Amino acid sequence: MLIVACIKQVPDTTQVQIDPVTNTLVREGIPFIMNPFDTHALEECLKLKDRFGCRVAAISMGPPNAEATMRKALSLGADEAILLSDRAFGGADTLATSKVLATAIAKLAEQDEIALVICGKQTIDGDTAQVGPGIATRLGYSQLTLVDRIEELDMQGRRIRVRRKLEGRHEIVEAPLPALLTVVREINRPRYAKVPMRLMAGTAEIQLWNNQILQLDATTIGLKGSPTWVSRIFSPERTTGEMLGDGINDPVGAAGLLVDKLLEKELLAL
Ligand SMILES: Cc1cc2nc3c(=O)[nH]c(=O)nc-3n(C[C@H](O)[C@H](O)[C@H](O)COP(=O)(O)OP(=O)(O)OC[C@H]3O[C@@H](n4cnc5c(N)ncnc54)[C@H](O)[C@@H]3O)c2cc1C
């Protein structure tokens, strides 16, 4: 039984800037990290591996340097790492990205039965949250998004029950396997890689799959297969805040000024 973690390597957005001419992220010279939500996706796969003894495959579509993120996945406990990398995959929108990922997952399913595919809720660069549902739709898998807890997983009965974190409420849903989950941060606390595992991952094999292996029609992938275009990216203008007194040295005075302001704007009634 196989569980697949979808992992994207993303620029560390605390340091990213937008090119005002091309409206794209400036990726040069920026450190890359595993998409934070995907660290939780991988951790959930590893917890299921600990519990059920299934194999975990980490899969990513990205440039050759995404190999570093795949090594990290191996150091944390993934059994295999597959990097989908080809010039033909470049410039993909979410439609084309989900196509390549779904095709690769279907190929994995030829070798071993897949119980679950786990993705992050969204990435911190593209931010669309479309890729997980896109993969599930293409594969015909049950689709369970925003999961913050796996309530029950019955591998024999091939059913899963999860809790979804919605705004102000939770929802418990059940679905047949195979299923694709997208997970939120609250689902778990990712583990740290142990030193021997890090050393092992440094020389472990990363499988590189290009389009010769996936055999996808080049007009349906990468930029050619991407109907989306970005017309503009911009940071919303923020109005500057107003400092009320000295909150550090005089918190009582600052709180008094805040109450006065709220009363003045009729946001507070005595
Ligand atoms: C015209 C166009 C060209 C683009 N060109 C590029 C480009 O050259 N390079 C680039 O990085 N982005 C490019 N993008 C952005 C790209 O579409 C998205 O980064 C990508 O499709 C994933 O969408 P997202 O980041 O919103 O993922 P989301 O849908 O927010 O991700 C949800 C989850 O899906 C999984 N996932 C998403 N992407 C991947 C992946 N690549 N591998 C494995 N799992 C994944 C992860 O588990 C993730 O947590 C382009 C976009 C457009 C519109």
On whether residue 230 sits in a domain, the answer given is: no
Q: Is the CB of 228 under 6 A from ligand 1?
A: yes
Nearest one of 172, 176, 115 to 146, comparing CA atoms? 172
On whether residue 132 sits in a domain, the answer given is: yes
What's the CA angle centered on 148, arms 186 and 130, to 5 degrees? 100
Same domain assignment for residues 212 and 266? no
On whether residue 225 sits in a domain, the answer given is: no
Same domain assignment for residues 187 and 124? yes
Please give the backbone phi and psi of residue 124, each rounded to the nearest 5 degrees, phi first.
-95, 0
Which residue is closest in CA terms to ligand 1's atom 5? 91
Instruction: Report residue 225 as tokens.
Output: 């297969």
Same domain assignment for residues 256 and 159? no
- Predicted local distance difference test score (pLDDT) of residue 23: 66
Q: Of all atoms in ligand 1, which is nearest to the CA of residue 228?
A: 53
Q: Is the CB of 221 under 6 A from ligand 1?
A: no
Q: What's 123-186 look like in SS3?
A: CCCCCCCCHHHHHHHHHCCEEEEEEEEEEEEECCCCEEEEEEEECCEEEEEEEECCEEEEECHH
Domain holding 188: CATH number?
Answer: 3.40.50.620
Q: What is the pLDDT of residues 19-64, one digit of tens each?
A: 777 666 677 778 899 999 999 999 999 999 999 999 999 999 999 9
Q: How far is the CA of 71 from the centre of ligand 1 (A)?
A: 20
Same domain assignment for residues 200 and 268? no
On whether residue 206 sits in a domain, the answer given is: yes
- Predicted local distance difference test score (pLDDT) of residue 56: 98
On whether residue 165 sits in a domain, the answer given is: yes
Number of domains in the chain: 2
Q: What is the mean pLDDT of each run of 10 residues along the chain (270 residues)?
A: 97 76 73 96 98 97 96 98 97 96 98 97 94 98 98 97 96 98 98 96 97 97 93 78 80 90 87
On whether residue 228 sits in a domain, the answer given is: no
Q: Which of 38, 87, 97 to mutate to test the pocket of ligand 1 (most atoms within 8 A of CB)?
A: 97
Q: How far is the CA of 119 from the centre of ligand 1 (A)?
A: 12
Q: Is the CB of 38 under 6 A from ligand 1?
A: yes
Same domain assignment for residues 212 and 246? no
Q: The pTM is what?
A: 0.88
Q: Is the CB of 224 under 6 A from ligand 1?
A: no
Q: Is the CB of 40 under 6 A from ligand 1?
A: no
